[in-house]
Structure 1
Amino acid sequence: MAAAAPPTPTTTTAWVVDRPGPITGRPLRRVEREVAAPGPYELLVEVGACGVCRTDLHLAEGDLAPHRPLCTPGHEVVGRVLAAGPAAEGFVPGDRVGAAWLAGTCGECRYCRAGQENLCPYSRYTGWDLDGGYAGHLLVDARYAYRLPEGWADEEIAPLLCAGIIGYRALERAELPPGGRLGLYGFGASAHLTAQLAIARGATVHVLTRSEAAQRLALDLGAASAAGAYDAPPEPLDAAILFAPVGELVPTALAALDRGGTLAVAGIHLTDIPPLGYARHLFQERTLRSVTANTREDGRAYLAEAARLRPRVHLTRYPMSRADQALADLAADRVTGVAVLVPDPE
């Protein structure tokens, strides 16, 4: 049974990207905004938790060009429905709901019709095109919202909505064979969830990351080995996923692949890739491929699998009033696992 919906407020406090730039220059600003009534397909949601994603940092620092001024970041949002538009089917006030990165598509282009809505040229994204979850409230298109597994706290589920989903899609794109050997380069929010998914599927996981704390976490979660980002894994890899936004790691990861292996690059932003040597990095049918957003089917499939597996979410909680500090800590590698924003104590 859905919980009773709280009364609808008239204003909400939100963080906005004021002037994109280095996080040390405090590009985020906290503002008070009016709460808009939901449109026909929209849900008005009171935020219970919002994961802090590296994409939010890229937006704040200007690595990703802003799609509109004073946008509120955040796209791993869990909350309760306060009100629903007349055409917003499937949810009623009081329901718990999840809002993720993909916020809208055209539904008519050849990509949408082919089941590749993540490639829709007209796609829109939470916290980039639309205001996201670094706020007390937000509007969500019910057609792109998720029903969530029961039994988890809001802050435990929030990271699943991007870190989990994009890791799931990256693992699918990496085409890891059953019982295969997987390398994970970088071990933050997404990688620590993806490792658990791959291990549950029978994979041997090797983690390559510069953070000693992340290496310890990887071993604690069941990784077969954990070493430095530029180290060679102890055996050739059938597949690898690059989570760190560091283009210099692409040749390193490709060189670690066995014949026929695939490297999937999971980030939305990557620094420049150095020149690749054909014989060393690509010959013997090694494959380099990107991962772009996700489809709603990815989200539903991952959440269903996560509900069965119940991955451990290694999180650090920050009150919503310290969202700028959470991003600063993420930029400085002071976050192991994932950071999650929760409402400030009343």
Structure 2
Amino acid sequence: MQAMQLFKPAPVEELPLQPVDLNVPQPASGQVLLRVQVCGVCRTDLHICEGELTPPHYPIIPGHQVVGIVEMLGEDVQGLEIGQRVGAAWLGKTCGKCAFCMRGEENLCPQARFTGFHFNGGYAEWMVAEAGFVYPLPAELSERQAAPLLCAGIIGYRALRKSGLQPGERLGLYGFGASAHLAIQIARYWGCEVF
């Protein structure tokens, strides 16, 4: 398979990602093999490529806004089907047992593992993902529309949910990036007054 792999960080202008040919990965128990359709570029990916975030090992294939087709199921995978279109995001695996996981704050799990950081991500033709951390995607969304929702969309929506915002209430935001621009659209859809 073709992939873009990071062997050592460098400014993006120096093209730190290198094209490589690798074997297609095989899913282990609880994992799925995805044929990548599209993978967005997040600022976190640039931080990894430029060395501002250091992954536990090199080489690594970045990319965590992945839209792909399930091509193979590992043992013990339920609820997903071959041919199904899914998304894979930054949060790629957690313990599922700690206090954070038990109260729905998996992003704080001390054993959390991240796509394109701890294990290979979507800047490749194929990738393996934990079955419990891929998300079925609605047919109405194109791959290009869905990819940004797998990072900025998740962050913005989670922030709205954690705030307790209800339809019709007021919302104040400071800073304006990808997640805020998506959160504003949701808040407006809910009839909120946004500042």
One-letter amino acid of the counterpart of residue 162, structure 1: C
CA 1:199–1:68 in structure 2 vs 1: closer, same or farther (change >3 Å)? same
Question: Secondary structure of the residue that 2:96 maps to in structure 1?
Answer: coil
2:35 is the alignment partner of 1:55: no
Corresponding residue for residue 180 of structure 2 = 191
2: CA distance between counterparts of 1:176 and 1:92? 35
Q: TM-score, normalised by structure 1?
A: 0.53
2: CA distance between counterparts of 1:190 and 1:87? 34
Contact 1:48 1:155 in 2 (8 A): no
Structure 1 residue aligned with 2:78, among 85, 89, 110? 89
Kindly state the Cα deviation for residue 170 of structure 1 after the two structures are TM-superposed: 2.2
Structure 2 residue aligned with 1:108, among 79, 97, 104? 97
Task: Please give the per-residue CA displacement for 1:101-158, whole angstroms capped at 9, x wherever unaligned.
Answer: 1111112222223332221100101111111111111001111111111222111111
Contact 1:176 1:182 in 2 (8 A): no
2:137 is the alignment partner of 1:140: no
Structure 1 residue aligned with 2:145, among 132, 156, 164? 156
Identical-residue share of aligned pairs (%): 44
Q: TM-score, normalised by structure 2?
A: 0.91
Q: Which runs of 4+ in 1 moved over 6 A?
A: none
Aligned ranges 1:204-219 → 2 under 5 Å: 204-206=193-195
2: CA distance between counterparts of 1:160 and 1:180? 23
Aligned ranges 1:1-346 → 2 under 5 Å: 12-176=1-165, 178-187=168-177, 189-206=178-195
1: CA distance between counterparts of 2:42 and 2:21? 23
Question: Secondary structure of the residue that 2:156 maps to in structure 1?
Answer: helix
Corresponding residue for residue 305 of structure 1 = none
Aligned length: 194
Question: Secondary structure of the residue that 1:65 maps to in structure 2?
Answer: coil
Q: Which has the higher contact order (CA 8 A, sep 6+)?
A: 2
2: CA distance between counterparts of 1:107 and 1:152? 29
Kindly state the Cα deviation for residue 21 of structure 1 after the two structures are TM-superposed: 2.6
2: CA distance between counterparts of 1:181 and 1:107? 32
Task: Please give the per-residue CA displacement for 1:157-192, whole angstroms capped at 9, x wherever unaligned.
Answer: 1111111001112233445565214234133x3232
Question: Secondary structure of the residue that 2:101 maps to in structure 1?
Answer: helix
Contact 1:38 1:44 in 2 (8 A): yes
CA 1:205–1:21 in structure 2 vs 1: closer, same or farther (change >3 Å)? farther
1: CA distance between counterparts of 2:171 and 2:75? 49
Task: Please give the per-residue CA displacement for 1:214-262, whole angstroms capped at 9, x wherever unaligned.
Answer: xxxxxxxxxxxxxxxxxxxxxxxxxxxxxxxxxxxxxxxxxxxxxxxxx
2: CA distance between counterparts of 1:75 and 1:140? 11
One-letter amino acid of the counterpart of residue 172, structure 1: R
Question: Secondary structure of the residue that 2:33 maps to in structure 1?
Answer: strand
Contact 1:182 1:205 in 2 (8 A): yes
2: CA distance between counterparts of 1:32 and 1:109? 38
Kindly state the Cα deviation for residue 55 of structure 1 after the two structures are TM-superposed: 0.8
Contact 2:173 2:180 in 1 (8 A): no
Question: Secondary structure of the residue that 1:52 maps to in structure 2?
Answer: coil
CA 1:200–1:41 in structure 2 vs 1: closer, same or farther (change >3 Å)? same
2: CA distance between counterparts of 1:199 and 1:75? 27
Task: Please give the per-residue CA displacement for 1:292-332, whole angstroms capped at 9, x wherever unaligned.
Answer: xxxxxxxxxxxxxxxxxxxxxxxxxxxxxxxxxxxxxxxxx
1: CA distance between counterparts of 2:43 and 2:86? 22
2: CA distance between counterparts of 1:26 and 1:171? 36
2: CA distance between counterparts of 1:181 and 1:159? 22
What is the alpha-carbon root mean square deviation over aligned residues?
Answer: 1.7
Contact 2:64 2:115 in 1 (8 A): yes
Contact 1:47 1:79 in 2 (8 A): yes
2: CA distance between counterparts of 1:205 and 1:54? 25
